[in-house]
Structure 1
């Protein structure tokens, strides 16, 4: 009689265990158990399409002063682990390249966002684009 009870108990627990496993699923994690980044992508040069290392990526929520800073790796890739959902402003900066600004990027809760950017080094050293207080005095 004890053997039948054990079998019935196992038969009752097994479907529950399988159901729990199915409901947990992947939950935005890869096979190694690390959560997917909220935002990821690649920064490359406009003309050559070569990845650009060391680009500073500033991300802030629209109307917020707080900025999160990230940097591209040797392959031009970046990963933003967590960001609150909402509308974002993204600014890319690197010496020798034009500053790139993208507004109106919408991040939805639980939906990873993949963004690729091309930045240009053309005209980046043009002094007319650089603000300097003494230059303003010269023009008066």
Structure 2
């Protein structure tokens, strides 16, 4: 019994001071459309990179409506790269993601065979 009186407080202290997971409920989501046709673009590969990530990058793909979501990200500064075989690649940098918050992006990609300009807001 005396042993438990000494061990329980130590265990409680260790559990409360243990580092939390690097993942959180923060997310980056958005839509990708064609700047010329104004239509959503499916199958755009989006790569998120950040010094906050435990692995080199998080990757997702847009659905048929051009929507994407990268969930459970740790807070930090992110860069997103958008790639599609028929569009010019685009990189969006210096996105500040805060704990418990989400960032919404809207990206317009130019077709690879045009001179249109990529737009992001």
Answer whether TM exceeds 0.5 for this pair.
yes
Change (3 A) 1:41 1:121: same
- Distance verdict in 2 for CA 1:77–1:92, change over 3 Å: same
Per-residue deviation, 1:48: 1.8
Q: TM-score normalized by structure 1?
A: 0.58
| TM-score normalised by structure 2 residue count | 0.67
Tell me, yes or no, if structure 1 residue 44 matches structure 2 residue 33: yes
Over 3 Å counting, the alpha-carbon distance change for 1:70 and 1:111 in structure 2 is same
Residue of structure 2 in register with 1:53 after alignment: 42
Which of the pair is proportionally richer in helix?
Answer: 1
Root-mean-square deviation (CA), in Å?
Answer: 2.3
Q: Distance in 2 between matches of 1:105 and 1:62?
A: 12
**How many residues in Structure 1 have an aligned counterpart in Structure 2?**
90
Q: Does 1:69 align with 2:59?
A: yes
- Whether the aligned pair in 1 keeps the contact of 2:28 and 2:105 (CA below 8 Å) is yes
* 2:86 equivalent in structure 1: 96
The answer (yes or no) to whether the contact 2:48–2:78 under 8 Å persists in 1 is yes
Farther-moved stretch of structure 1 (95-104 vs 37-46)? 37-46
Which of structures 1 and 2 has the bigger CA Rg?
Answer: 1
Which protein has the bigger strand share? 2
Moved more, 70-79 or 58-67: 58-67
Asked if 1:80 is matched to 2:74, the reply is no
Structure 2 unaligned residues grouped into runs of 5+: 1-24, 115-121
